[in-house]
Structures are given as C-alpha cells and as structure tokens.
A and B are shown apart, each in its own frame.
Chain A
Amino acid sequence: MGAGRSAGSSGGRSSVDAALDHLKSDYPLNSKGYFGEIGRSGSEDKRQINSTDPLATFHEIGNALIVGAKRDDGVVVKNGASFLHLDGTRINLRQPSSSGSPAIDITSNNAKLATQRIHFEGETDG
C-alpha cells in the first residue's frame, strides 16, 4: 500500500521518474517505493535515513526530488517549501520538522514511489 497512481504526464518519462533514476545508485527505493529504513514508530511510511551529515543528505535528496517540479507558494509549509511535479506528486521540504530533524514529505502520484515521510538523522555509534 502507499504507492500512488501511475504518472499523469503525457507520455514518456516523468520528472519524478528522472529524479528517482538520479537517486537510485546512492538512495535506492525498496520494492514498495520507500526510501531508507523504517523509522522509530515502525510504520512503513515513516522513513529514516542516517548519515554523518543529515542536513547535507537532506539537501542532496531534496534537491534531486524537486528537479522538474514547480514551487507552489499556494501551500504554506512550516519551516519549508512545497513543490509540485507535473504528475501531481508533491514534495514538501522541511528544515527542521517538528521533531527537530530535517524531513521530506512525499505525496506520490507516481507508481514507483510511495507516499512517505523521511527523517534525516545522524549516525549513532554501534
């Protein structure tokens, strides 16, 4: 569950597909269309990506996901901004989210990508 409908763009590869292709070597989606690992709550749509520099990782993934999307100033996102792709997929970037870490909210209209929230956290020593 959670993956959106197929892209609504008029044929060819959508901007979301292009973004996913760009990210797939470093940040691949799992088979259900989610980035990273399941977060603390255990809910599959709440994701977590750990790195030594969470803010840099947030910017890297966020910047890739909004290529080809238009900023939508009709939506007010606390501590962030909202971007809309041609297929209806919406990407919200927050820095910080209410939990304190940067977050990306994805409402997907793309069959490969699930609707999800991704938090970016620092790596903890094992």
Chain B
Amino acid sequence: MDERAYNLEPSLRGALAGLVGERWVCLGFTGRIRGDVLTCPVEIATDRTVIAMSVLDNEVALGGDDEVITLVADVPLEGHLEEARRAGRIAVHGAGEVVRSVHLIREELVRIRDDVPMFRVSVDSGVVIELETVAIAIQKRGFHGFDFVLSVAPNTEQLRFHDSASEWPMNLELTCRYERVLIPCD
C-alpha cells in the first residue's frame, strides 16, 4: 500500500508550540474571506510572535491517479498583518487572553478498493489554539483545498471542523476510512 505522510515542518511546529503562555492578539486575514473560508495566508499573532501560514500545491501520484494533496506551511510575513489590520480583516476573539494550549490537526485517510487498502495519506492540516475562554481552529479546506476554514467556539469540544472525508466519493467498489485527531504541539 502506498503511504504518504505530510507533517508540518519542525520549524513551524516549534513556532506554534512556542505560542503557549503568550498573550493572544488576533488572526489576520490578508487574502479574501468567503463565509468561513479564508484565503492564504492567515497570520497568527500574539504579543510576542507572528506566524503566517499558507497552503502549498502538491501534486502526487496515489492509487493509480494523480492527486493534489495540499500542504500547510509557514511563509514570510512581508507586512501582511499591518495590511490586514488596516483593512479590518482580523478576528480578535479572545484578544488579551493567554494561550493555554496548541494542537495540530492531523487527518488521515485510507482509500479502499474492494476491501483492499490502496493508499494511506496523513496530513497535518491546521492548528487548534486554546485560549482562556475561546478555542480557535484554523484548518485547511480538505485534503485538496487551497484555503483555510475558521471555527471559533467556547472550547475545543464545540469547534466545528471541515468534513475532509466528504471530498472522497464512495460507491460499492471504492470506500475510505477517515480519522481526524488533535496532537499536542510541544
């Protein structure tokens, strides 16, 4: 079985882990906002750190076809946050609160044909940031997506995640097994 794992680069994972204990400022959206869909990049800002996350193209051969399995990565800041603030494209939920925890969103899908696994793909698709009274999820819009989806809730349990399995159609021959887990970022 073909297996692919696309984990966050250690530098980004380390930067996200370093947010714990810092004071939350905002999310900055430098692209466009279409409902809960955010175009890239998205900037995560605390009182000491700013991280810009984007989605990168990635064409791969999987299961006898070419797929696009996009990747989350950090990108240079280039002053986008100031631009987002000027344009009012920011989310300030929980501003001033301390970052309590950071989790990676890891999604895994096994594509199955006639009960035989064809390929397994695992992707770190975003991050959950837990503040004192607010939880924020920034998740890539599916395995193929080039945008992020934002969810904000009073706690992690109430966050609404994008249904990334829905983009893999199933029939009598082809099915899939999907799992999403949150992994402590440390």
Q: How large is the interface on B (under 10, 10 to 19, 20 to 34, 35 or more residues)?
A: 35 or more
Q: Given the interface contacts A1-B168, A97-B66, A117-B68, does A107 sit within 8 Å of B146 by beta carbon?
A: yes
Are B34 and A84 in contact (CB-based, < 8 A)? yes
A58 to B37, CA, bound (A): 27
Residues of A within 8 A of B54 (CB): 74
A41 to B65, CA, bound (A): 6
Q: A45-B169, A109-B35, A109-B37 are in contact. List 11 more A-B contacts (CB 8 A).
A: A41-B63, A44-B174, A45-B168, A72-B31, A74-B30, A82-B146, A87-B34, A98-B66, A99-B66, A107-B145, A117-B68
| 5 A-B pairs closest in CB distance | A41-B65, A88-B34, A44-B169, A98-B59, A88-B37
Q: How many A-B residue pairs have CB under 8 A?
A: 100
A72 to B54, CA, bound (A): 13
Which residues of chain B from 1 to 52 have any CB-CB distance to chain A below 8 Å in the complex?
Answer: 30-32, 34-35, 37, 39-41
Q: Given the interface contacts A44-B169, A44-B171, A107-B144, does A8 sit within 8 Å of B35 by beta carbon?
A: yes
Which residues of chain A from 76 to 95 have any CB-CB distance to chain B below 8 Å in the complex?
Answer: 76-78, 82, 84-88, 90, 92
The reply to whether the CB of A2 lies closer than 8 angstroms to some CB of chain B is yes
Are B171 and A75 in contact (CB-based, < 8 A)? no
